[in-house]
Amino acid sequence: MRSVDKRTKIVAIDGGIAMNNPTAAAITHVLNNKQEFPLCNGVEDLLVVSLGNGESDFGYQNQNSTPARFVRIAGEGASDMVDQAVSMAFGHCRTSNYVRIQANGIIAKKHGIVDKSMKSNKKADLLAMAEEMLAQKNVESVLFEGKKIVESTNFDKLETFTGELIKEQERRKTSILPTVLLKQNSTSPRTSSATTLSTLSSY
């Protein structure tokens, strides 16, 4: 990747390698950015929906291990650790202010939907897989006790959060204070820490 002014360049990889679950990064950005989010004082002021892309189907009976599968397992492990850490950060309001939607690959595999979608990218197949994922029971992280399957489905969780978002939108219509303060437009191109480091090292 090259900078806008073509003076610097960096080598970049897909964000999933370094940040398979960006939820924690997004939350800390908002909590520590008082310039843009002056009214956010803690996690109780946040509503967070974390959408996963589905867990793999690497069951204990699958003996065909490859380097690519180990990388996938490592990524899913890191993603689950972020989910657990975020749940602990939300504490008592984790079930009302934070939800993680992650499809269980083993369940989807059992119904043959994952295999079908991998062979074809037809819209109907993708919709069928999405409906199956939404119908699965939601999995919540429990403080210091790992995870548990709850009675609510992924669809139920999303529906509940949708209602909360609608209430928040109505509340903001009557508020005289801006929820987010937008930055002023800058004439200079935006630089990242990597770009800045690359520029400094070139001198």
Instruction: Read off the pLDDT band of 59 (50, 70, 90).
Output: low
Catalytic residue, from 14, 45, 80, 125: name it.
14
* pLDDT tens, residue by residue, 91-112: 888 888 999 988 776 444 544 4
Task: Please compute the mean of the pLDDT values over residues 50-73 and round it to a whole number.
Answer: 69
Residue 146 near residue 83 (C-beta atoms within 8 A): no
Residue 25 near residue 52 (C-beta atoms within 8 A): no
Please indicate, yes or no, whether the overall pTM of this predicted structure exceeds 0.85: no
Closest residue by Cα to residue 26 from 75, 71, 96, 89: 89
**What does the block give as tokens for 183?**
């930055």
30 contacts: CB under 8 Å, gap ≥ 6: 37, 40, 46
* pLDDT tens, residue by residue, 4-49: 999 999 987 777 777 788 999 999 999 999 888 888 889 998 999 9
Beta strand pairing call for 98-101 and 48-51:
parallel
pLDDT of residue 192: 45
**What does the block give as tokens for 1?**
């990747």
Whether 14 is catalytic: yes
Q: Position of tokens 């930055």?
A: 183
Phi then psi dihedrals of residue 22, to 5 deg: -85, 10
pLDDT of residue 203: 46
